[in-house]
Structures are given as structure tokens and as C-alpha cells.
Amino acid sequence: MDKLIDATKENRINWQQTSRDNEYQVEINGYSIAVLYVTKSLFTIDLDKTATCTITLINEDGVIVDSCSIPSNEEGFETAVTLYKEAKRSFYKVDDVLRELTDSI
């Protein structure tokens, strides 16, 4: 996941939102990786103790070949949430928006 996070931060890959508001997907060499964040809480991501982050690998035919759900109390959750947050930032082009806002001030 670290390579995906780094590639996202460096704008080498660009994520798209799926039909779900809380899921983002990127295609690399014909395969897709999706990251989904699910919560039952009204709290923000950083405070949520009921969340699950799911990483899914999809082949070129659209078949899910592997999936891993990580609850908030398990190892790897923080890294998965970091990937989710970076994917969301990529989709909404947060860095570009912030740059544009600061240039306008």
C-alpha cells in the first residue's frame, strides 16, 4: 500500500470515484484497485472506531480477484485509511484547489 500512497501523493496515479460516495478506484496496467471506507459512526475518519476499510483487486474483466477488509482495531487499518484519504484527495484535486485559493488571496 505504501507504493500506492506514494504514487498518489506524487500525482503519478489518479483515482476516480465509483458509484459509491465512499469508494475510489484506480486502474494500473489493466487491473483496478478500489478502496472503500465504511462506518456506522457520525464521527470523522480520525475519531471513528467502528470503521472498516476494504481494498479490492479487480482484473481486466471486472472480476474481483482478491479483497481485504480491515477493521479499525486491526493492524494495517491506519495505512488503509491513509490510502483512502489520499485517493479522495486525488479525485477532488485538493492540492490544485488549495493552490488556486492561495493564488487568489
Lowest mean pLDDT among 56-60, 84-88, 100-104: 100-104
Read off the DSSP letter of residue 93: T
Quick one: cell of 91?
A: 479525485
pTM of the model: 0.88
Q: What is the mean pLDDT of residues 18-47?
A: 87
Query: Average pLDDT for residues 35-49, to the nearest whole number?
Result: 75
Please state at what angle helix 77-92 crosses helix 94-104, rounded to 10 degrees.
50
What would the mean pLDDT of 42-56 be, rounded to a whole number?
77
Tell me the three cell numbers of residue 38: 465504511
Residues 6 or more apart whose CB falls under 8 angstroms from that of 92 comprise none
